[in-house]
């Protein structure tokens, strides 16, 4: 099992960015012509390198694919850079003739050079990755699959304070020591207060203790994927699904969602309470908990998020905030999209565009101050009454521009500009 070079990076790789660093004033037509040639050389090296594995039987676990694809993308970028470096050594790029360069790179002598280069990278890099890292990892993963661990038992115990935003998430990413900076909406302004981080993001008796124990299992599964996203490490499929579950659960258990649901079902709750001789609150809570038995509801919530393009958007300043709704939510063509603040410096964004095969690492954008503040305003406006922030943060006067669709569009445009 070897990932394809173009799938590893998620986009067709181009030398143009490298060329621009070496020759910022080079004519666009010249840069594009040379980039096509040198891209083709780099791809030929990669394909020839992978061909050395033909006929070799290796048992590789499916969960290794993401890591392999990321390493292949990094290796392709390295080879691309080396090709440009070698072909421009002691030469002025502006004087290189594209037709002569194509013949030199991809003609008979170039083909020999490509084959030799591919052999070197296979022997010293790719085969070592396989034999020293991926085959041993696969062997262990296959053994685990053959003897799976027993399902974790729910540890049900009385819990009065139900955290609708994970306590560990607040502690790890939104607290400064034992304290968190909370902002609360007033009549005409936000007021700030330092509070113990554990005294935020919860309500009493939102759901039963069995559901609370179920949430605890899901939250544990999401910790590693979130840290990996922040570190720009590849997520395998189980990790992607665990992260999506974290997002969906945080939407379904938010008090605003629960309140909206109860309002819409008020008549049914009252009628059922009379028939059962129970309180309306108890009936509403029991009916709410049946949502987590609906595979159809979960799939409808999770699928658009999973198959949208993912991006990590970073800000040089700690301007992102954590609203009491957990995230900002919008719709694109009837499908849910999210802007999820992970830290005061980084947000996870589901873009409007879809994909049919998940990138192993999301797109990454360090946005300018203007876009960062617009995202911050969007998150503030998503809050019902409170949000957490970095201790250095202050809201801007006025709401500012915070149109959800426009922000997604501008993130995508910035990513496109970055790729040029």
The percent of residues above 70 in pLDDT, for the chain, comes to 87
Task: Report pLDDT for 149.
Answer: 63
| Range with the poorest average pLDDT among 111-120, 126-135, 194-203, 274-283 | 274-283
Instruction: Tell me: do 214 and 347 sit in the same domain.
Output: no
Nearest to 190 by CA among 388, 329, 407: 388
Same domain, 20 and 39: yes
Question: Is residue 416 one of the residues assigned to a domain?
Answer: yes
Region of poorest pLDDT, from 13-17, 59-63, 208-212: 13-17
Residue 142 placed within a domain: yes
Q: Domain boundary at 115, 146, 177, which?
A: 146
pLDDT band at 13 (very low <50, low <70, confident <90, very high): very low
Provide the domain count of the chain: 3
In a domain, 154, yes or no: no
Same domain, 323 and 192: yes
Contacts of 257 (CB under 8 A, 6+ apart): 251
Task: Pull the structure tokens for residue 221.
Answer: 């599964």
- Can you tell me the mean pLDDT for 26-34? 90
Q: Within this chain, do residues 286 and 359 fall inside the same structural domain, yes or no?
A: no
Which of 169, 191, 173 has its CA nearest to residue 182? 191
Domain that holds residue 195: 166-202+307-420
pLDDT band at 189 (very low <50, low <70, confident <90, very high): confident
Task: Mean pLDDT check: name the lowest of 154-168, 304-318, 360-374.
Answer: 154-168
234-267 exposure pattern, b = at least 16 Cβ within 10 A, e = fewer: bbbeebbebbbbbbbbbbbbbbbbbeebbeeeee
Whether residues 267 and 328 share a domain: the answer is no
- In Å, how far are 21, 247, 321, 347 from 325, measured between CA atoms? 43, 11, 11, 15
Eight-state DSSP code of residue 359: -
Pair 416, 345 in one domain: yes
The residue among 246, 271, 305 that closes a domain is: 305
pTM of the model: 0.74
Residue 287 belongs to some domain of the structure: yes
C-beta of residue 71 within 8 angstroms of C-beta of residue 132: no
Kindly tell me the sign of the dihedral angle through the C-alpha atoms of 252, 255, 261, 266.
Answer: positive
Does the residue 353 lie in any domain?
yes
Give the pLDDT score at 11: 37
Q: Is residue 156 part of a domain?
A: no
One domain, residues 299 and 340: no
Residue 79 lies in a domain: yes
pLDDT tens per residue, range 122-172: 999 999 999 999 999 888 888 887 877 666 666 778 888 889 999 999 999
- Which residue in 321, 407, 326 sits closest to 367, CA to CA? 407
Q: Which two tokens stand for residue 317?
A: 């300043």
- Identify the residue with better confidence: 375 or 77: 375
Residue 341 lies in a domain: yes
Q: Considering only 30-44, 122-136, 210-224, which range has the smallest mean pLDDT?
A: 210-224
Going by pLDDT thresholds of 50, 70 and 90, the confidence category of residue 415 is very high
**How is 277-337 classified by DSSP, letter by letter?**
T--HHHHHHHHHHGGGG-HHHHHHHHHHHHTEEEEEEE-SS----EETTSSEEEEETTEEE
Other C-beta atoms within 10 Å of 107: how many?
Answer: 11
Distance CA 188, CA 186 (A): 6
With a cut of 80, say whether residue 5 has pLDDT above it: no
Q: What is the pLDDT of residue 10?
A: 37
What digits encode the pLDDT tens for the residues 198-210?
999 999 878 888 8
Measured CA to CA in angstroms, residue 30 lies from 33, 41, 81, 96 at distances of 5, 17, 18, 9
Over 60: is that where the pLDDT of 398 sits?
no
Pair 25, 135 in one domain: yes
Across 58-62, 79-83, 266-270, 316-320, least confident range: 266-270
Residues 301 and 274 in one domain: yes
- Taking alpha carbons only, the member of 370, 368, 302, 348 closest to residue 173 is 348
Domain co-membership, 20 together with 128:
yes
Which of 282, 305, 328 is a domain's end point?
305
Same domain, 218 and 103: no
Per-residue pLDDT band for 283 (boundaries 50, 70, 90) equals low
Same domain, yes or no: 184 and 276: no
């Amino acid at each position: 099992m070897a990932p394809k070079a173009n799938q590893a990076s998620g986009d067709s790789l181009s030398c143009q960015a490298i060329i621009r660093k070496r020759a910022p004033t080079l004519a666009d037509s010249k840069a594009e012509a040379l980039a096509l040639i040198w891209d083709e050389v780099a791809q030929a090296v990669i394909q020839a390198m992978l061909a050395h594995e033909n006929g070799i039987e290796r048992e590789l676990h499916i969960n290794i694919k993401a890591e392999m694809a990321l390493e292949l993308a990094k290796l392709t970028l390295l080879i691309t850079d080396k090709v440009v470096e070698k072909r421009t050594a002691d030469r002025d790029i502006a004087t290189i003739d594209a037709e002569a360069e194509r013949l030199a790179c991809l003609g008979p002598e170039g083909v020999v050079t490509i084959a030799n280069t591919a052999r070197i990278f296979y022997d010293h890099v790719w085969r070592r990755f396989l034999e020293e890292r991926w085959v041993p990892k696969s062997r262990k993963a296959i053994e685990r699959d053959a003897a799976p661990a027993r399902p974790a038992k729910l540890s049900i115990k009385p819990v009065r304070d139900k955290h609708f935003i994970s306590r560990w998430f607040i502690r790890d990413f939104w607290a400064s020591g034992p304290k968190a900076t909370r902002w609360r909406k007033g009549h005409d302004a936000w007021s700030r207060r330092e509070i113990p981080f554990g005294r935020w993001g919860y309500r009493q008796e939102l759901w039963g203790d069995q559901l609370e124990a179920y949430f605890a299992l899901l939250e544990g599964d999401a910790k590693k994927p979130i840290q990996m996203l922040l570190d720009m490490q590849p997520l395998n499929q189980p990790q992607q699904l665990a992260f999506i579950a974290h997002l969906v659960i945080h939407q379904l258990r938010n008090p605003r969602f629960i309140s909206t649901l109860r309002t819409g079902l008020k008549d049914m709750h009252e009628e059922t309470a009379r028939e059962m001789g129970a309180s309306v609150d108890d009936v509403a809570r029991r009916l709410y908990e049946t949502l987590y038995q609906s595979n159809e509801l979960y799939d409808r919530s999770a699928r658009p998020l999973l198959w949208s393009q993912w991006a990590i958007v970073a800000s040089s300043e700690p301007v992102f905030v954590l609203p009491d709704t957990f995230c900002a939510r919008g719709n694109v063509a009837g499908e849910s999209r999210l802007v999820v603040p992970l830290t005061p410096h980084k947000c996870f964004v589901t873009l409007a565009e879809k994909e049919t095969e998940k990138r192993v690492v999301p797109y990454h954008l360090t946005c300018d101050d203007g876009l960062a503040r617009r995202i911050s305003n969007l998150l503030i406006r998503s809050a019902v009454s409170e949000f957490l922030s970095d201790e250095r943060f202050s809201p801007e006067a006025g709401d500012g521009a915070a149109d959800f669709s426009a922000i997604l569009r501008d993130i995508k445009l910035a990513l496109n500009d970055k790729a040029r």
